[in-house]
Structure 1
Amino acid sequence: MQYKTHVTTSLALGLPLIVSSQQLSALNVGALLVGCLLPDIDQPTSFLGKRNRLVSGVTHKTLGHRGGTHSLLGLVIVFVMVAFISQRYFNFAGRYFPFWLCTGYLFHLLEDSFSKDGVKWLWPLGKKGIRTGRKWLTYSTGGIGEYLLLGFTFCLLLIEIRLIWLNQLGNFLPSGMLAHLQALTLKLQTIFSSN
């Protein structure tokens, strides 16, 4: 999936969550966006790869594309690193930064699961990419399916922005479960930063 499709799809999925949790801020939206692009750091031609050639080159040579960065292990490692940095250097306003960054990261993995190559969720245990299993649900990067998804999520995103403007987007989702997840991640952040 191209970066623009990752961005629009992750924003369309994430904005209702951010608004319903009453945490709409540039920092949290930025964390979601960085998170949704971060797994592709292993590809030197990706959006982040072009801007971080050293990290991208090393990651690509050691893990390959859609290897460690496209796995649950990669997600956990990113969470631990960002939680440590967040607890040490962010103020109170940035306490949910790791949660939203990892939410964007997870969205990226889910989105890539619908590609023809799939995602190695259990890397390094699994060598083969896991995908949806339904041929009509898969897409090829840069293919018509991806562009249809891009158009749909862009329209959905415009509707969501309008609903934010009207202060009505937060009414669609219950925020109780999200609050429990965030409380758990805050506890984990405290654990990781104390070591």
Structure 2
Amino acid sequence: MTGNTHIIGGLAASLAFAQVSNYDPVLLVGAGVVGAIIPDICHGGSKIGRKFKVLSKVINTLFGHRSFTHSLLFLVLMAFLLNGFINNDSIILGFLVGMASHYILDMATKNGIKLLYPLKITVRFPVTTRTGGTVEYVVFAALSVLTVYFGYGVFGKYI
């Protein structure tokens, strides 16, 4: 999926989580958007890869694309690191929800992800799409509608 689809996916997922939890929705959603782009640090052409070129190149050289940074191992490692350095559950959970949304969206692509890294098993949904294709735009539109819906559920009381 493209960066914009990951961002709207992280936004929708973190808003949905905010609606059913008692965490600070502003922090949760902000962290969810950041978490949604972090796994693509392994790709130099991604939004985050272009911001951190050297780190992106090193990670890509060591692991390749859609392997370590798209795995449960990386998710657990990030959870431990975030818990060690950040003293706010809203930020930590938002970040992890955003990362999980990224994984789910990339499992809907033909290339899938190495969710069980270091095992070389590719995980993808039975029905997949091409990154940047028409189906992705439909997914983006659906996620946009869900973002409005969940956003109203979380922040509607302030309107």
The TM-score normalised by the length of structure 1 is 0.75
Distance in 1 (alpha carbons) for counterparts of 2:107 and 2:136: 13
Deviations 1:135-157 (A, max 9, x none): 3xx11100011011001111221
What do you get for the CA RMSD once the two structures are aligned? 1.8
Counterpart selection for 1:141 from 131, 137, 148: 131
Aligned to 1:182: none
Pair 1:103-2:93 in alignment: no
Q: Secondary structure at the match of 2:157?
A: coil
Q: Secondary structure at the match of 2:143?
A: helix
Distance in 1 (alpha carbons) for counterparts of 2:151 and 2:92: 23
Within 5 Å, give how 1:1-195 maps onto structure 2.
1-86=1-86, 90=87, 94-126=88-120, 128-133=121-126, 135=127, 138-167=128-157
Unmatched runs of 5 consecutive residues or more in structure 1: 169-195
Between structure 1 and structure 2, the one with the greater Rg is 1
Deviations 1:113-151 (A, max 9, x none): 11111111111112x421112x3xx11100011011001
The alignment of Structure 1 onto Structure 2 pairs a total of residues equal to 158
Instruction: Give the C-alpha shift of residue 79 in structure 1.
Output: 1.3
Q: Secondary structure at the match of 1:96?
A: helix
Instruction: Give the C-alpha shift of residue 24 in structure 1.
Output: 3.4
Deviations 1:25-82 (A, max 9, x none): 4322111111111100000110111111121111111111111101111111111111
Distance in 2 (alpha carbons) for counterparts of 1:64 and 1:96: 31
- When structure 1 is superposed on structure 2, of 112-121 and 150-159 the one drifting more is 150-159
Instruction: Give the letter aligned to residue 118 of structure 1.
Output: G
Unmatched runs of 5 consecutive residues or more in structure 2: none
The TM-score normalised by the length of structure 2 is 0.90
Instruction: Give the C-alpha shift of residue 22 in structure 1.
Output: 2.5
Distance in 2 (alpha carbons) for counterparts of 1:111 and 1:15: 16
Deviations 1:75-121 (A, max 9, x none): 111111111111xxx4xxx2332222112111111111111111111
Distance in 2 (alpha carbons) for counterparts of 1:59 and 1:82: 19
Distance in 2 (alpha carbons) for counterparts of 1:164 and 1:95: 18
Identity of aligned residues (%): 30
